Structure 1
Amino acid sequence: MINRQMTPMTPLSDMRRDHSPAVRLGHDAVSAVKLSQQLTADIDAWAETHQITRSDAISRLLAIGLHASRPPAMTQPKLRDPVAIEQNAIQLIDQMLDPSLPADERERRIRRLVEGPAEFAGERIDLPRHSG
């Protein structure tokens, strides 16, 4: 069947329960989302910075967020060796730090996060206990 604009009509089999057309092959879905005023303002600012529309900004930000939260393709085996655990932690922290930091500052921050605050050293189970 053809409608008045001479475009193919959506067959009934492609209709969802809410009577909106399902996404057809080759067409992007249009989704309505409820956003707070602050979130909308933040998205608009991001869109303006990147010189794109709000719709494109939402799509890109969702893609960035989904990509960032994807689990690793291959799960790493559980580490039981304390040295291996520490090395893994150092590696992960190093990846998160700003690459423009000087090497000594990066090392200081990594050590601070791996070793933790001095006031908690007595609570750590991975450190030897000093009998007093």
Structure 2
Amino acid sequence: MTKSIRVITKKKRGRPATTGRGTQVGERWHPTELAAIDAWIASSPDKNITRAHAIRRLVALGLRVKTPAQPIGKPGRRLRAQELATKAIEKIIDPAAPPEERAQRRRRLTKGPPEFREDRVDQTKAKGK
């Protein structure tokens, strides 16, 4: 009796993709963050959503929100520093000089000489230059 020929098919390895195509991103979450996500899931009308789906929804909501940009520095501090500098300059400037001359000197000392103004990194650049 002759042996029958058996065709061996190669088995597919691993688990099939469940969420479709896309880039997988792995993240570590702290227990407080997971608790907040779970609380959001509990408060949502659809109670059967998974954490992954909830995170995707929360990210989508966060990306839709437009927030104003935070100021780089506190404007109150800058104004206070300018006031203090003006008071210190007033003590140094010659009181016999005319008021226009004193104002020009004070402005030159607080803003800096014109040749160095474009090199200053603490002030925004003028749009026309």
Fold conserved (TM > 0.5)? no
Query: Relative contact order, CA 8 A, sep 6+: which one is greater?
Result: 2
Q: State the TM-score, normalized to the length of structure 2.
A: 0.36
Structure of higher CA gyration radius:
2
